[in-house]
Structure 1
């Protein structure tokens, strides 16, 4: 048996759209990370870029479990005293749920040069509209929604 290695001609980048309404953050992030890496394809290889484009809509309607609203995201500008700390509640109130989702998905991707390329294929939008209708994205359904939303 020979090991299959995908060639650049074998790699395709499909488009998927995920509706984040009442979906728990961790479930959304793990499913999006699988799609971004291309692990849903039979031609997956960890060293090859076989990932897909992922569009997440309705990011402002995402669900949190536990005490996630008290959790904080840190960012540093690189300058002395440049540490910035924002809680999830502050980010949601400021209308920046994209930063929360981006951070969760980034943490689930491998820590190498390929992860930046894969993360660049992620598009997150607050509302239900997105400008990528021309790519004919497939709808990716996440069945399990938050228990608090029921």
Structure 2
């Protein structure tokens, strides 16, 4: 039996499914791990490491994600402007209050391999703080996390 290798010309590997994930009261790390698997395409039999076979994922209710332990107060998100004294930090609690979509995006991004392919994979992730999203006319498959 020959090993299947996905190629850009193969239409079966290029068919992208749209998934919707409701992360209300779901643990952040477990949800991000499942989302990263789907975006990367590892849930498919057509998975090829050097080719983007992943699916599109829409995440809703990002502001209601749950974390365990003391992470809400102790976990810090760092940003550096590149200038002296330009290191800024924000707690997870502050990030969820101001930029809840960024929390999910960073968690998923850090679970993907670094490189140009992962940057393309991240374009298939759409995160929204509430229930509303602009993809109303798409038939979603529900992704359980």
User: Under a length normalisation based on structure 2, what TM-score does the superposition of the two structures give?
Assistant: 0.91
Query: Residue deviations 1:88-131, cap 9 Å, x none?
Result: 0111232x111111111111001121110001111111111111
Give the length in aligned residue pairs.
141
Partner-residue secondary structure (3-state), 1:110: coil
Aligned to 1:4: 4
Aligned to 1:83: 87
Partner-residue secondary structure (3-state), 1:17: strand
Aligned to 1:146: none
User: Under a length normalisation based on structure 1, what TM-score does the superposition of the two structures give?
Assistant: 0.88
Name segments (4+ residues, structure 1) moved above 4 Å. Answer: none
Q: CA deviation at 1:26?
A: 0.7
Q: CA deviation at 1:48?
A: 0.6
Query: Residue deviations 1:62-96, cap 9 Å, x none?
Result: 111011112001111223322221110111232x1
Do 2:76 and 2:90's aligned partners in 1 also have CA atoms closer than 8 Å?
Answer: yes
Q: CA deviation at 1:12?
A: 1.6
Tell me how far apart the structure 1 counterparts of residues 78 and 123 of structure 2 sit (CA, whole Å): 20
Q: CA deviation at 1:2?
A: 2.1
Q: CA deviation at 1:32?
A: 0.3
Aligned to 1:74: 78
Question: Tell me, which stretches of 5 or more residues in structure 2 are unaligned?
Answer: none
Question: Tell me, which stretches of 5 or more residues in structure 1 are unaligned?
Answer: 143-150
